[in-house]
């Protein structure tokens, strides 16, 4: 089977992924965004207990391509999403 090419957009919804996969998924996704010229991305991690959000933030803290990140605004998913600025 040939790999399926998926269009890279400025939004990644983690609800469809296994949490154990985000450590590899998130850096690859952000690098693909940077290569595509996307400077601002929104990562949807959900509100829940905050475990996934903390994992996402820990990963972002370690990535050199991340300029900054913040919790989403009222129309960006609020504390169920993180908005990332890439270098």
Integer-rounded Cα Rg, in Å, for the chain is 13
Assess whether pLDDT exceeds 80 at residue 35: yes
Cβ atoms 59, 67 nearer than 8 A: no
The CATH architecture of the domain made up of 11-86 is 2-Layer Sandwich (3.30)
Q: Which residue has the higher pLDDT, 36 or 5?
A: 36
Question: CA-to-CA distance for 73 and 51, rounded, in angstroms?
Answer: 19
Amino acid 1: pLDDT: 75
Question: CA-to-CA distance for 30 and 61, rounded, in angstroms?
Answer: 13
DSSP 57: H
Amino acid 2: pLDDT: 78
What distance separates the 2 farthest-apart alpha carbons in the chain? 42
Instruction: Summarize pLDDT for 40-84 with one digit per residue, the tens.
Output: 999 999 998 889 999 999 999 999 999 999 999 999 999 999 999
Q: Which residue has the higher pLDDT, 2 or 25?
A: 25
Quickly tell me which residue has 């998924």 as its tokens. Answer: 25
């Amino acid at each position: 089977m040939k790999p399926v090419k998926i269009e890279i957009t400025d939004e990644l919804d983690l609800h469809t992924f296994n949490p154990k996969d985000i450590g590899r998924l998130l850096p690859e996704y952000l690098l693909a965004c940077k290569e595509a010229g996307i400077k601002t991305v929104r990562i949807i991690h959900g509100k829940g207990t905050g475990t996934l959000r903390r994992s996402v933030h820990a990963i972002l803290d370690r990535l050199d391509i991340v300029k900054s990140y913040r919790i989403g605004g009222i129309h960006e998913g609020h504390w169920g999403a993180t908005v990332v600025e890439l270098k």
